[in-house]
Structure 1
Amino acid sequence: MEQPDGFTQPGHEHLVCKLKKSLYGLKQSPRQWYKRFDSYMLQISYKQCEYDSCVYVKSLDDGSSIFLFLYVDDMRIAANDMHDVLALKALLS
């Protein structure tokens, strides 16, 4: 077993985590995932739509907007410029 990429701590490469219980399949799993996702979107300056909590909007410097639509575990991104879409995809990966 190895530490996941990006989580390796220098000098502690030999350490791993013991999984007490799988998060997958638990009834609270979707809520925990959504809370983490929502927190990250707000951190990167997106605003949640007040009428639909699964729609996030960010106004860009050029006056345009970028939208992220979330449905269960699927996302759709809408923007005028493909560069903006790719930048958001990079932030989410």
Structure 2
Amino acid sequence: MVQPPGFEKQASDRSKLVCRLKKSLYRLKQAPSTWFEKLQAYLVDNLKFKELLADALLYFWGSDGHKIYIMVYVDDVVITGENATEVNSIIKEINTSFLSKI
């Protein structure tokens, strides 16, 4: 880790110091897993996505030959599919329940 510009300090023996993080990045250590559990429940229960056995972070929905995949990684969500209208519909659905930036 490198000290941020303007906050560089050296120890009395002229060695470099490191920064110490006093709080977790999400304020609460359990916040990322709580967010993921809510998203997972919403995708499976409300939007009827299926969790793939090969990867617990990949979700699938298919109807009338159209497929939509959602990949969740930490706090990023990637949505892709064959039909742009259906993908945009899913994005709107998720935006009604979760704060997100498009």
Moved segments of 4+, more than 3 Å: none
Gaps of 5+ in 2: 1-25, 96-102
- Select the structure of larger CA radius of gyration: 2
Classify the secondary structure of the residue corresponding to 1:76: strand
Q: Tell me which amino acid in the other structure corresponds to 1:48.
A: E
User: C-alpha distance in 1, partners of 2:38/2:77?
Assistant: 15
- What do residues 39-79 of structure 1 show as CA deviations (whole Å, max 9, x unaligned)? 0001110001111111010011x212100011111111111
Classify the secondary structure of the residue corresponding to 2:54: coil
Identity of aligned residues (%): 28
Counterpart in the other structure of 2:53: 50
User: C-alpha distance in 2, partners of 1:85/1:64?
Assistant: 10
User: C-alpha distance in 1, partners of 2:78/2:30?
Assistant: 24
2:32 to 17, 30, 33: 30
Q: TM (normalized to structure 1)?
A: 0.70
User: C-alpha distance in 1, partners of 2:78/2:29?
Assistant: 25
- What do residues 14-47 of structure 1 show as CA deviations (whole Å, max 9, x unaligned)? xxxxxxxxxx411111111111110000111000
What is the number of equivalent residue pairs in this alignment?
69
Q: TM (normalized to structure 2)?
A: 0.64
Provide the alpha-carbon RMSD of the alignment: 1.0
